[in-house]
């Protein structure tokens, strides 16, 4: 099983700041890494797939990068609606796995 | 508009059974991978099971193998999850999530249905 480790567990920032979230895989997942956003009481929403492709309707301030075992989700300038929990997910191998999540909170 | 609507959740005793359904609309159901993902209260996301577009391939997380069965009815645009021998640790919100035509990227999600396993 591929284990995804996200860091930090919690990130405290202010609107307008840049957010950098990390996801590290226990073995290579090639480029088969996605990012999701989840707000309280809501279902997750796909942000980024295949490392760097923005999903439909996702603003350009969200970007993804990386390859192999190290991946990054960057939010260039935080908007109030961006404060949420973020998960990475790999589809390289069965079982599909998620990271434990990074909570992005308002400082 | 893609819509996924789960139903069938509820309170069940340990060892009991439950069948979840997911009604899909707004896309050609028979062309897409579709999956169940769960989230225990206050916890992260856990993939449970996925099924190929034609139903010929089914994949499960180890913790549910032999207890849960994923299936689909492409004529009725519906996905199912038969859950047997339920345990307290199966308590979670169960989401139906649509993938791609050849991938298990979760592009669309339902709002989920809550399953509580308790005596």
The pLDDT tens digits of the residues spanning B26-85 come to 999 999 999 999 999 999 999 999 999 999 999 999 999 999 999 999 999 999 999 999
Q: Any bridge partners for residue A55, and if so which?
A: none
HEC letters along B61-112: CHHHCCCEEEEEECCCCEEEEEECCCCHHHCEEEEEEECCCCCCCCCEECCC
The answer to whether B115 and B20 have CB atoms below 8 angstroms apart is yes
A4's CB contacts (< 8 A; 6+ apart) are: A23, A24, A25, A26, A88, A89, A90, A97, A98, A99, A100
User: CB–CB of A43 and B95 under 8 A?
Assistant: yes
Measured distance CA(B67)–CA(A43) in Å, rounded: 25
Q: A30 CB near a chain B CB, below 8 Å?
A: no
Share of chain B above pLDDT 90, in %: 96
The pLDDT tens digits of the residues spanning A54-107 come to 999 999 999 999 999 999 999 999 999 999 999 999 999 999 999 999 999 999
User: CB–CB of A96 and B50 under 8 A?
Assistant: yes
Query: Which of B44, B47, B106 has its CB closest to that of A95?
Result: B47
The answer to whether B77 and B5 have CB atoms below 8 angstroms apart is no
User: CB–CB of B59 and A98 under 8 A?
Assistant: no
> Hunting for tokens 């191998």 — which residue is that?
A93
């Amino acid at each position: 099983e591929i284990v995804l480790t996200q860091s930090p567990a919690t990130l405290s920032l202010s609107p307008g700041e840049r957010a950098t979230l990390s996801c590290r895989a226990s073995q290579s997942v090639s480029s088969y890494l996605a990012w999701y956003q989840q707000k309280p009481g809501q279902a997750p929403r796909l942000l980024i797939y295949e490392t760097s492709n923005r999903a439909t309707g996702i603003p350009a301030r969200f970007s993804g990068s990386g390859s192999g075992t190290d991946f990054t989700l960057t939010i260039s300038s935080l908007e109030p609606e961006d404060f949420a929990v973020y998960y990475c997910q790999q589809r390289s191998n069965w079982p599909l796995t998620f990271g434990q999540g990074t909570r992005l909170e308002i400082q | 508009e893609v819509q996924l609507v789960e139903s069938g959740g509820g309170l069940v005793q340990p060892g009991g059974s439950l069948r979840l359904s997911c009604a899909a609309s707004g896309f050609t159901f028979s062309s897409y991978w579709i999956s169940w993902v769960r989230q225990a209260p206050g916890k992260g996301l856990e993939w449970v099971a996925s099924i190929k577009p034609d139903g010929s391939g089914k994949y499960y997380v180890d913790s549910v193998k032999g207890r849960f069965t994923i299936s689909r009815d492409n004529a009725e645009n519906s996905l199912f999850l038969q859950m047997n021998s339920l345990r307290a640790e199966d308590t979670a919100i169960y989401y139906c999530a649509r993938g791609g035509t050849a991938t298990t990227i979760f592009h669309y999600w339902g709002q989920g249905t809550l399953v509580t396993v308790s005596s």
